Amino acid sequence: MTLDTSISIITTAICLFCGHLLLLRRRDTGVYLPLALLFLFQGVSTGVATMAEEYDPNGMGILFRISILVGGLETTLPFLLWVYVRALTTEGQPGRIPKLRYHVIAIICVVMLFWSLLLLPDEFDAVELQDDDPRALGFVVIALAVLLADFVFRAMIATYIYLIIRRLLAYRTRLKDVFASTENRELTWIWVILICMVVYFCVSIAFTVSIVSGFVAEEAHGTWLPTLNAFALLGLFWALGVWGLRQRPGMTRQSVVATPEPDNPKPRKYEKSALDDDRLQRIARKVEAAMAKDILYRDPNLSLWDLAKHIGVTSHYVSQALNTHLNKSFFDLVNGWRIKDAIEQLNATDETILAIAYDVGFNSRSAFYKAFKRETGQTPSDLRK
């Protein structure tokens, strides 16, 4: 058994194990199902391909044809990863995917082109073909179909990487509109996965080009190239399994029922109408009072929904008041009050910096230092000195 075969077996085991665990989850099934399918499809495809290489390395028998059929599942992997990230960053329950038919059509086209390999006859050897052999034309057509499938699939990977990056950037902005502490919701690990995907994508293209052009020796095709590819695939799915199994949706919303404003005699009509300047100013004053008098910012898990419930209006109206009258995101507002409180404590008490950071509502020392430096231009230690 070669090294790349052993690595492929390990990858298969990891993928099937992670997929099985994700399918057993009863909460947030709409989030975890795409990731579970991603692991299962990759595990089955890698496992069958490994069996075909081990027990039928030179033939075109049944194992080869099964590996071709199952290998079509890998075409869905970039799409499934994007669907997973989309569900993970959606506020509330994931909705229907817009223009789903275009994604499905692209996947079906690539799979059908790839499955053209099934048309190859048993005991087929392209090296022995002569120019006048009637099978030569068929072989050329199949080869072109597979190359086209490879090109379209790589274009799909690049497209979904772009869509995931755009989604993550929008999600990061939205986090600051909803949460005062975002360090545990940033999904930084997905950026690591994306970097691994980009590296793997670029390396695979470089190897494909070098093989087609003859730059890489033919002996390498069956030695270190498969091993390097197997290592890269193992690292990618191992990292995805480590973080994906423990990741919870970042925009999980609490069930908050907003009570009407006490000075509003018709709350239903008010909820359906657009807010005028006076009402927005009233909400802005309530927000400031919740911070100054009720010290709401000291809650380390404070969210926009909590603040909306506290002052008795909907989160949409609170967000509108923050943007139009206070010119701040929820994140900047709350952390601004926290830093103001921290400055007072640093000047008036002998408490440790870490104790002050936790007291004013921060969840970690690093988040406190980062916010403090952004607000004041110096560190807490410099201020105290």
Q: What is the pLDDT of residue 130?
A: 56
For the cut 70, the answer to whether the pLDDT of residue 266 exceeds it is no
- Work out the number of other CB atoms within 10 angstroms of the CB of residue 119: 12
Q: How confident is the model at residue 259 (pLDDT cuts 50, 70, 90)?
A: very low
What pTM does this model have? 0.79
Q: What is the pLDDT of residue 83?
A: 94
State the maximum Cα–Cα separation within the chain, in Å, rounded to a whole number: 94
Q: What is the pLDDT of residue 262?
A: 39
> CA 182, CA 315: separation in Å to the nearest integer?
18
Residue 333: its H or E element: helix 330-348
For the cut 50, the answer to whether the pLDDT of residue 91 exceeds it is yes
**Phi, psi torsion values for 219, nearest 5 degrees:** -65, -30
Domain layout of the chain by residue ranges: 3-244, 267-384
For 207-235, the pLDDT digits (tens) are 667 666 665 555 555 566 677 778 888 88
**What top-level class would CATH report for the domain 3-244?**
mainly alpha
The superfamily (CATH) of domain 267-384 is: Homeodomain-like (1.10.10.60)
For 267-303, the pLDDT digits (tens) are 443 344 456 788 888 998 999 999 999 999 999 889 9
CA dihedral 55, 57, 63, 69 (to 10 degrees): 140
Handedness of CA 366, 368, 372, 375 (dihedral sign): positive
Show the tokens assigned to 237. 């799915």
Q: How confident is the model at residue 133 (pLDDT cuts 50, 70, 90)?
A: low
- Work out the number of other CB atoms within 10 angstroms of the CB of residue 301: 12
Range of lowest pLDDT (122-126, 268-272, 328-332): 268-272
> CA 368, CA 376: separation in Å to the nearest integer?
12
Our measurement of the distance from residue 51's CA atom to the centroid of its chain's CA atoms, rounded to an integer in Å, reads 31
Range of lowest pLDDT (17-31, 158-172, 229-243, 360-374): 229-243
For the cut 50, the answer to whether the pLDDT of residue 368 exceeds it is yes
For the cut 70, the answer to whether the pLDDT of residue 143 exceeds it is yes
Q: How confident is the model at residue 356 (pLDDT cuts 50, 70, 90)?
A: very high
